[in-house]
Amino acid sequence: MRSAEFDREHVLRQAMTTFMQHGYSKTSMQKLTQATGLHPGSIYCAFNNKKGLLLASVEQYQKDKNEQFAQLCASHNNIKSALHAFLADIAHPCASSEATKVCLLTRTLSEIDGQDEEVTQVLSNNLSAFERSLESVLNKAMDKGEISSKPSAKERAQFLVMGIYGLRTYASTGNDTQALSRLSEQLLEYVLR
Amino acid sequence: MRSAEFDREHVLRQAMTTFMQHGYSKTSMQKLTQATGLHPGSIYCAFNNKKGLLLASVEQYQKDKNEQFAQLCASHNNIKSALHAFLADIAHPCASSEATKVCLLTRTLSEIDGQDEEVTQVLSNNLSAFERSLESVLNKAMDKGEISSKPSAKERAQFLVMGIYGLRTYASTGNDTQALSRLSEQLLEYVLR
DNA sequence: TTCAATCTTGAATATGCGTTCAAGATACAC
DNA sequence: GTGTATCTTGAACGCATATTCAAGATTGAA
């Protein structure tokens, strides 16, 4: 026997960055071999094809984002400061030109829309899973009496998710940092009203 | 002499629909020749290249959207019903599977991001022009005393635009019509607060 | 040390793409 | 009616792409 030589997580993080930077279709296999250090044959052996590598990258992305979010929640003792930090983490890179300014899930979903049912499903599922995890955080805040129960956690979570999508797109139309942070504030104010 | 035989506006509307349906890079010249009825040579003669056809389509799209918006504003006597109708026009196709469910400007911007400076500029300019026209409508509503002047027209317009971007992305994650119209309501409520 | 199982390598393949261009068709001026 | 300027046509071109595969390299067990 002989085991694979590459570090799967490392490869997937390099791949996801490349996908975020150039989008799915403009990320050529050549770019992927350069970014990951793997040769075409190895990629095809480990992930079937380009789409397989995308799906594996998406899985890794979601895993990383979930961990980040859990840590962020653990390090704040009230929902307002937690979500404030969360939105700042989104808005700040948005105004920069880093690859991480976009969301792998929404960018790919928008690009792939109507082209591949499987990828669309996976992305949608991951996005709604994250909405539910926001909902659960809001529910906990209700239990602790930090926010009222009148607009339900679900409604709040939906509006927040919509706002995040909007923020990201808004940021891509030109980096008005001032407006972006003002919009984040207003969004948070409304969600925690 | 001899004049061109095709109807430019018709051709551009067919092209823009194709671009909205498949995205820029997956819209092949073959698809465009089928959709427009023009042969490759004619397209290259009239629009230089694929990118030129995109830019011309974007111009036509913006012109059409501006006309629609002006008519919509003219047919409502208060801002609330006007914007309500406007959001409904956005949200309803979003929940369907028509090509018009996406916005040519944002979809293309997201796909092209970081690849072509000229297209990025044109799209961003068009989007902020539309934000300003929303701002102007809000200003008129202030003059008529329909809304207070406290959150400025600019701030309201920015939040509304962010919300529209968010609505569109939210819609693309799965067509929960119920949630979509509820989100529209909340958005409107907050913008006209 | 030997051998076979497995992984790595990267050139080769087939396909689809945007673009060009020379030949043919057409319309208008005279 | 004739000539010419212009438009239309679509086959052909070069290029980039995703994918394959057979040869070479490496591992670990016997």
> Do A180 and A94 contact (CB within 8 A), yes or no?
yes
Domain with B164 in it: 61-191
Which stretches in chain B have pLDDT values below 70?
A: 1-5
Q: Is pLDDT of A94 > 90? A: no
Look at residue B76 and tell me if it is in a domain: yes
Inside any domain, residue B29:
no
Cα B167 to the center of its chain, rounded Å: 13
What average pLDDT does range A126-133 have in this prediction? 97
Whether B114 and A159 lie within 8 Å, measured CB to CB = no
Please report whether residue B131 resides in a domain: yes
Nearest to B23 among A111, A158, A179 (CB): A111
What is the tally of structural domains in chain A?
1
Of A113, A161, A114, A110, whose CA–CA distance to A133 is shortest?
Answer: A161
Cβ within 8 Å of residue B192, ≥6 positions away: B79, B80, B83, B147, B156
Q: For the segment A23-70, what is each residue's pLDDT rounded down to a tens digit?
A: 999 999 999 999 999 999 999 999 999 999 999 999 999 999 999 999
Rounded CA separation A10/A16 (Å): 10
**Residue where the block lists tokens 């369907």:** B96
Condensed to tens digits (0 to 9), the pLDDT of residues A134-185 reads: 999 999 999 999 999 989 999 999 999 999 999 999 999 987 899 999 999 9
Two structure tokens written together for A74: 């653990």
- The answer to whether B113 touches B46, Cβ cutoff 8 Å, is no
Nucleotide nearest to B31 (CA to C1'): C17
- Contact present, B9 and B67 (Cβ < 8 Å): no
Shortest Cα–Cα distance, B51 to chain A (Å): 16
- Partner-chain contact B169 A110, CB within 8 Å: yes
Q: Is residue B65, in this structure, part of any structural domain at all?
A: yes
Q: Would you say residue B120 lies in a domain?
A: yes
Torsion of CA A41, A43, A46, A49, to 10 degrees: -100
A23 CA to D24 C1', in Å? 35
Q: What is the pLDDT of residue B176?
A: 87
List own/partner pairs for B50-57 with CB under 8 A and 24 or more apart: B51/B116, B51/B119, B53/B15, B54/B15, B54/B19, B54/B24, B54/B108, B54/B119, B55/B119, B55/B122, B56/B12, B56/B15, B57/B12, B57/B15, B57/B16, B57/B19, B57/B104
Structure-model confidence comparison of residues B93 and A127, the more confident one? A127
Angle (CA) A114-A120-A123 rounded to 5° is 150
Task: List pLDDT tens digits, range B57-86.
Answer: 999 999 999 999 999 999 999 999 999 999
Contacts of A100 (CB under 8 A, 6+ apart): A17, A20, A93
Q: Has residue B55 been placed in a domain?
A: no
Give the pLDDT score at A3.
Answer: 62
Instruction: Quote the pLDDT of residue B1.
Output: 55
Q: Work out how many CB contacts closer than 8 A connect A with B.
A: 110
User: Is the distance from CB of B129 to CB of B121 less than 8 angstroms?
Assistant: no
User: Which residues from 14-53 of A have any strand C atom under 7 Å from their CB?
Assistant: 38-42, 45-46
Strand C proximal to A2 Cβ, under 7 A: yes
Q: Answer whether residue B173 is part of any domain.
A: yes
Q: CA A122 to CA B143: how far, in whole Å?
A: 48
CA distance A18 to B16: 29
Query: A84 and A38 in contact (C-beta within 8 Å)?
Result: no
Whether B12 is covered by a domain: the verdict is no
- Amino acid letter at A124? S
Chain B CB contacts of A22 below 8 Å? 114-115
Give the mean model confidence (pLDDT) for residues A63-87.
96
Report the amino acid identity of residue A157. A
Which CATH number belongs to the domain containing residue B112 in this structure? 1.10.357.10
* AA letter at B83: L
Q: Which residue is it, tokens 């339900």?
A: A152
In whole angstroms, D17 C1' to A163 CA is 37
> Tell me, what's the pLDDT at B3?
62
- Core vs surface per residue A30-66: b (16+ CB within 10 A) or e: eebeebbebeeebbeebbeebeebbbbbbebbbeebe
